[in-house]
Structure 1
Amino acid sequence: MDCEGFRCLEMGWNTSRTPTVITEKKDRLLAALPGRLFNAVKWPDIIRRVQLAMERANAALRLPAGNRRGRYRSVAVGVSFGNGSKHPGMLSQEEWNRLVLEELMTDPDVQLVASFASSCFALYAPKLFTEYRATLGQLYAEYTMLRQIFPNSVFPAVSFNFGPEACTVLHVDNSNRAIGWCSILALGDFDPTQGGHIVLEELRLVIEFPPGSTILIPSALCRHGNMPIQKGETRMVMTQYAAGGLFRYVDYGYHTKKELRELDPERFEGIEAKQESRWVEQMSLFSTVDHLHADRIACDLIK
């Protein structure tokens, strides 16, 4: 991966627990580097137990050796929509894998780190988080066969990248919500000053990404990947996200685009005509630094 011309952030947010945000020229928050749970003296122990839980699951799961984004084993779980489906559904697993993943996802420490990432999403993108919660809440109410995968996380899906060297090539997550954030938790045993950095191509940034730390980025807008780790080291990743198709399905009145075009052409044309203004409206869901606190209050996330 050629990173010439990139700026490297040697982040202190992991050890000092000082969070950092990345903004664009209009001061809108595009990404957040919250690092670790505040005041969590036992956080390293929690992270170690999550890592062990993922290692146990990896040993038991029946998965291919690699995927299109890297040479590591990976599996996705949760609610999704796309690839020609007529309605949203739970990502399917063979029965053995389903049982293994159920044990992994009900692990209290795994649920805790999932909850932390969701809380960080609410903290740094309160308007976007609130829209996720409202829209997905409508979807769950309409389709009761869908279930929230973690009790205290707004994200409807998660990918476990088991490694042993889970470092991805540069890519965008095209199926994710266009303006949505995904949370990325790095795990493993590696020297973050020598490898495992996250690369954000459009922002020309290379960021140290230590084990046990969380980053939230707009993964469908920004090409991202990782620097390789050193020989003999290990790296795993837990990523939470939301498919863009889920939000479009609700916008179309619980129809696919094709269904709505056929059932109600007038309504369909009205929605399509608003797409340009819709994008401006969607971008307004990113908070600015100056209005972040007020947005948290307005969204009833703090008093």
Structure 2
Amino acid sequence: MPGSPDMRVYEWQGEPTPVTTNRGVVGDEEVAKPAAKDIRATAVDIYTEPRWLRKRRARNGESVPRRGPHAAKTIGISMGGGQTHPQNTAHSARLHQLLTNLLALQSIQRIAGWTNSKSVGPYPSHYANPPPVLFMAFAKQLHSFYEKELRSVCEHDPRTTRNFPARLSVFSMVTINFGPATVTFRTLTTATSPGGDLGGHLVLWDLKLIIRFPPGSTILIPSAILRHSNTKIQANETRFSFTQFTPAGLFRWVYNKFRTDADVNKSETTTPAEHEQRKKDRARRWDEGVKMYTRWQGPVSTV
């Protein structure tokens, strides 16, 4: 109640202002710490896989995983790299079970939900539904497009399985970097970092920008146009990361009425007029995609 000794009035000035813990931490440590613990437990099992042990013992000159010198596992509905149709990533039975068990944990589902669709409670009783967050809140039209396209894929082929319920995530794939000292190379996504502190700054190369990225932080990145990586962390620190994304090939599959570009282009039923229309569509697809972003109308701080 107003005037109560355990309450204080904050005179908000109208600018976006984070509410932090008493240690200045933005975010929910009750999510970040359990998530780091759960990822670490799965990492122990992954790093004891014979195939990974062989990679760790690889001689100089052999290739290093493109996301960095650590285990990075991807799971979900993929499309690209020569695939003739969308399908779930293939793993050994053991690894598939490890990854699906991890994605089923509340700590991971809360991150997935907070990142893009609806956060996972518990909430006060007056909340009829979880509130919209991040992706939905800041790019509602683009969020709806992602959800519609993924729903179309799953309805067209019931064999495809989403990583999370539709109410939590509109992304088709997840990559988890299992560290324990995750340092990613420049790559062309949403990313959450549930571990680490003094290092691990996020680097956006095209913007020439370095952002401090403390534990529990989440960022939405248009990864098709922004190369990103993170810096080294301290010797005694650990860092894991959790990334969600949807491959462009999946969107093209739906646009092609559930066919690949190659199938459409070589089909005898595709008319010259349709080929010409496809060229025009490709030319304007970029502009249409940009229009789905929400233009920020609030205060802007130049960094």
Q: TM-score, length-normalised on structure 1?
A: 0.76
1:202 CA drift (Å): 1.5
Q: CA separation in 2, counterparts of 1:100 and 1:69?
A: 20
For residue 127 of structure 1, the aligned residue among 138, 141, 154 is 141
Aligned partner letter, 2:103: M
Cα pair 1:14 1:210 within 8 Å, conserved? no
Contact 2:196 2:233 in 1 (8 A): no
In structure 1, how many angstroms separate the alpha carbons of the residues matched to 2:187 and 2:105?
30
Contact 2:40 2:180 in 1 (8 A): no
Give the whole-Å Cα distance in 1 for the aligned partners of 2:99 and 2:285.
37
Against the structure 1 CA distance between its residues 14 and 102, is the aligned structure 2 distance closer, same or farther, given a 3 Å change threshold? farther
Asked if 1:274 corresponds to 2:281, the answer is yes
Q: Does 1:160 align with 2:176?
A: yes
Is 1:58 equivalent to 2:43 in the alignment?
A: yes
Deviation by residue 1:93-134 (Cα, 9 ceiling, x = unmatched): 101111111211111121111111013111111111010011
* Larger-gyration structure (1/2): 2
Contact 1:81–1:89, Cα closer than 8 Å, also in 2: yes
Name the CA distance, whole Å, in 2 between partners of 1:268 and 1:134.
Answer: 25
Partner of 1:265: 270
Give me the whole-angstrom Cα distance separating, in 2, the residues matched to 1:274 and 1:237.
36
Look up the match of 2:212. Answer: 208
Are 2:151 and 1:137 aligned?
yes
CA-CA distance at 1:14 after TM superposition: 8.3
Alignment partner, residue 284 of structure 1: 291
Structure 2 counterpart of 1:84, from 82, 94, 98: 82
Output the aligned Cα RMSD.
Answer: 1.9
Matched, 1:218 2:203: no
Of 183, 199, 202, 1:198 maps to 202
Shift of 1:144: 0.6
Structure with bigger RCO (C-alpha 8 Å, 6+ apart): 1
> 1:227 is matched by which residue type in structure 2?
T
Q: Count residues with an aligned counterpart.
A: 245
Task: Tell me by how many angstroms 1:273 deviates.
Answer: 2.5
Q: Which residue of 2 is the match for residue 106 of structure 1?
A: 104
Deviation of 1:81 (Å): 0.6
Match runs of 1:20-99 below 5 Å: 36=27, 43-61=28-46, 62=49, 63=52, 64-65=55-56, 67-99=65-97
Aligned-partner Cα distance in 2 for 1:13–1:167: 27
When structure 1 is superposed on structure 2, of 195-204 and 55-64 the one drifting more is 55-64
Task: Give the gaps of 5 or more residues in structure 1.
Answer: 1-11, 18-34, 37-42, 173-181, 292-303
Decide whether the 8 Å contact of 1:14 with 1:213 is kept in 2. Answer: no
* Percent identical residues: 29
1:78 is displaced (CA, Å) by 0.3
Q: Which moved more, 1:235-244 or 1:114-123?
A: 114-123
Q: Does 1:252 align with 2:250?
A: no
Residue segments in structure 2 that go unaligned for 5+ positions in a row: 1-16, 57-63, 118-133, 299-303
Pair 1:228-2:232 in alignment: yes
- Structure 2-normalised TM-score? 0.76
Give, in angstroms, the shift of residue 171 of structure 1: 2.5
Deviation at 1:16, TM superposition (A): 6.9
Tell me which amino acid in the other structure corresponds to 2:293. Answer: F
